[in-house]
Amino acid sequence: MRPWPGTPYPLGATYDGVGTNFTLFSEAGEWVELCLFDDEGNEERVRLPEVDGFVHHGYLLGIGPGQRYGYRVHGPHQPEQGLRCNPNKLLIDPYAKAIDGEVKWHESLFGYPFGDPDARNDQDSAGHVPLSVVVNPFFDWANDRPPKIPYNETVIYEAHVRGLTMRHPEVPERLRGTYAGLAHPVVIDHLKKLGVNAIELMPVHQFVTDHGLVEKDLRNYWGYNTIGFFAPHDGYSALGHDAGQVQEFKGMVRALHEAGIEVILDVVYNHTAEGNHLGPTLSMRGIDNQAYYRLVEDEPKYYMDYTGTGNSMNVRSPHTLQLIMDSLRYWVTEMHVDGFRFDLAATLAREFYDVDRLSTFFDLVQQDPVVSQVKLIAEPWDVGPGGYQVGNFPPLWTEWNGKYRDTARDFWRGEPATLGEFASRFTGSSDLYKEDGRRPYASINFVTAHDGFTLTDLVSYNDKHNLANGEDGRDGADDNRSWNCGVEGPTDDPEVNELRERQRRNLLTTLLLSQGVPMLLHGDELGRTQQGNNNAYCQDNELSWVDWTLLEKNQPLLDFTSGLTDFRKKHPVFRRRRFFQGRPIRKGEELRDIAWFTPAGEEMTEQNWEDGFGRCVSVFLNGKGIPDLDQRGMKVEDDSFLVVFNAHHEDIEITLPGEGYGPEWAVVIDTATGEIAAFPQDEPTIPAGGSVTATARSVVVLQRMGAE
């Protein structure tokens, strides 16, 4: 087969309806072979005829969608110097839009200790490496439009494509665990009833289960081991592996958009599945090792590892930055996703050694006309020195707020000296985000996420129980800030179970009424448990999958969670676009926008905040003091509320504020009973200066009634 010269861009395999243009960047490679595979696995090699700016390229007439291919790069193999070209290694296209198959672990894939004379291993790795697939770029998007939900109105649902539907009885068996299964009407109906309007999918880029897990008969369930930044993971496809996963993914996005739900991807650009110098050569290592990976300065050229996975992507390289930006734009323009959550995002800011908020990567994102317009969420830490960067990302970014998680957990488990910080986290963490011009919604608030305990386990276990992972319990965090309410694990004790239910409601209420963007973990609304496993990254089984039969006994929890999201939607005072000022906001307004009170109804003093054993506080939120305009330029106004937090182990009688804050009040949410008032005007009222009992470890929300 004789190729035409083709064009150097775009990178990857591009089908135009007649043939396919193949391009591969490699500065280290001297020449490149394109390897075409038929249905029987027979290989035909074609040398790419042209090189422009280190981009090797060629055009093949008649080659179209479904064609499987790979590359062999001929060039220097000097691992000690960071050069790892080896034509015996069949390589995945870094720009492949679809990838077929899993890694079949074989000695020909692995690296060797530096200085080993057999390091260039003559064995061919064909048949052991997944193949890239040419895709059909055409898809009927119909009238698809991005929902473009404002940050302050967003409620995120973190979910796993496979885990969400594998045990759903109403999803057809052949669709369970797939993109099509997630788009099934019964799943979308659940999301809509729950009140979430953005789903954050754990990694869907093509990933690899590493050799160590395969040897233990386990799998990489979470997917933080990417090998293809453009390809939807084929293991989540119900349509087979002839690039059907691309069409299926697009269909899922279209269906979610029709329901008004955004799609956010958890993306892993900080490292790849090729690991350290002893890891497998699957793609970029054999294409241009020095361009794509951070290497130490001295020889031998070991990999810099800020991620704990063996390697770190080289964000100092323009070609790596191009790969990341091209990938992000592709997922927005071609796959119609609405945003990204960047795993270990601090690594992407390490141009040299320190985390630099002015790094090139952030500059590129800021000026990009496509990527800058979608939701950008950072996991603001990595495992390198100075890697914990909560509050330090640039203004365009929002962040997973780990301080919010820790403070909320500590407050409700009764840790001392948490009252002041709890108040700060509840009101949007202005100490982290206000000074650089960001808004409360820069804080992505969460109490639970995929990494750690589920909500039910958070109130049921003091210690992790990770023996199923095969690491003798050494893996997973030890500092869980959890409390088992008196008994470790499941119990028949009715008092313990009632307390656990109340604690779940306390945490959910705190989360959904805090300023910022709330994020729920899939299955928490159903009472999902991982039996105390706080690191279920390798548990692709019923331990991690959402058990939908839990709904039978946890319908009240689902109803309560749905009630909270609906309450938040109705009342903009709980999702303000600007921080509280602690003063009247508008002319003629006498009340401040926020005020804090002791249980005795007196305003909090500095001494009250410094009380290390404070467990109870009330906050007045002035619905008339919202300094926002809606899209029509009209003032945003709401009812006013008093939120009472009682983390004490005993009931506390709460004195309501004086008449200046409102003539009378009605209880609209009480986590002790699990009730949310549908019609507040029909509830009995309590006069100003009156009292209400806050049950031990509960939240009470009162709405101002009567004349304003």
Query: pLDDT means per 10 residues in the chain (708 residues)?
Result: 94 97 98 96 97 98 97 97 96 98 90 68 81 96 96 98 98 98 98 98 97 96 98 93 92 98 97 96 97 95 94 94 97 98 89 65 93 96 84 92 97 92 97 94 98 98 97 95 98 98 98 98 98 98 98 96 98 96 80 96 93 90 87 86 97 96 97 96 95 98 86
Question: Is 558 in the same domain as 627?
Answer: no
Please state whether the predicted TM-score (pTM) of the whole model is above 0.85: yes
Question: Is 491 in the same domain as 559?
Answer: yes
Q: Which domain holds residue 60?
A: 12-134
Is residue 353, in this structure, part of any structural domain at all? Answer: no
| Catalytic residue flag (residue 379) | yes
Boundary of a domain, candidates 134, 166, 197? 134
Asked if 163 and 204 count as a contact pair (C-beta separation under 8 A), the reply is no
> Within its chain, how far is the Cα of 493 from the centroid?
36
- What residue has token string 């890239």? 132
Boundary of a domain, candidates 570, 597, 617? 570
| Ordered DSSP codes for 550-615 | GHHHHHHHHHHHHHHHHHHHH-GGGS-SS---SS--STT--S-SEEEE-TTSPBP-HHHHH-TT--
Helix (H) or strand (E) holding 532: none
Would you tell me how many other CB atoms lie within 10 Å of the CB of residue 568?
20
Question: Is 545 in the same domain as 412?
Answer: yes
- The span from the first CA to the last CA of the chain, in angstroms, equals 81
Q: How many domains does the chain have?
A: 3
Given CA atoms 251, 255, 257, 261 in this order, what sign does their dihedral have? negative
CATH code of 589's domain: 2.60.40.1180
Q: Given 343, 399, 457, 593, which residue is catalytic?
A: 343
| Catalytic residue flag (residue 610) | no
Boundary of a domain, candidates 518, 541, 570? 570
pLDDT of res. 355: 62
Is residue 685, in this structure, part of any structural domain at all? Answer: yes
Rounded Cα distance between 230 and 215, Å, is 28
Rounded Cα distance between 283 and 285, Å, is 6
pLDDT of res. 708: 58
Query: Pairing between strand 664-670 and 698-705?
Result: antiparallel
Is residue 254, in this structure, part of any structural domain at all? Answer: no
pLDDT of res. 242: 81
The burial of 605, by beta-carbon neighbours within 10 Å (0-12 exposed, 13-18 middle, 19 or more buried), is given as exposed
Question: Is 522 in the same domain as 616?
Answer: no
Q: Which of 241, 244, 282 is nearest to 101 (CA)?
A: 241
Is residue 2, in this structure, part of any structural domain at all? Answer: no
Question: Is 591 in the same domain as 548?
Answer: no
Query: Pairing between strand 198-201 and 156-159?
Result: parallel
Is residue 274, in this structure, part of any structural domain at all? Answer: no
pLDDT of res. 346: 87
Question: Is 441 in the same domain as 487?
Answer: yes
Question: Is 587 in the same domain as 700?
Answer: yes
Q: What is the number of alpha carbons within 13 Å of residue 176 lying toward its C-beta?
A: 15
Rounded Cα distance between 604 and 594, Å, is 12
Question: Is 524 in the same domain as 644?
Answer: no
Asked if 501 and 568 count as a contact pair (C-beta separation under 8 A), the reply is no
Q: Which of 393, 286, 304 is nearest to 342 (CA)?
A: 393
Question: Is 125 in the same domain as 20?
Answer: yes
Instruction: Let me know how many helices (H) and strands (E) the chain has, helices first.
Output: 15, 30
Q: Given 210, 379, 399, 639, which residue is catalytic?
A: 379
Is residue 334, in this structure, part of any structural domain at all? Answer: no
Question: Is 538 in the same domain as 661?
Answer: no
> In 3-state terms, what secondary structure has residue 262?
strand
Question: Is 678 in the same domain as 616?
Answer: yes
Is residue 427, in this structure, part of any structural domain at all? Answer: yes
Is residue 421, in this structure, part of any structural domain at all? Answer: yes
CATH code of 494's domain: 3.20.20.80
Question: Is 527 in the same domain as 449?
Answer: yes
Rounded Cα distance between 453 and 462, Å, is 10
CATH code of 102's domain: 2.60.40.10
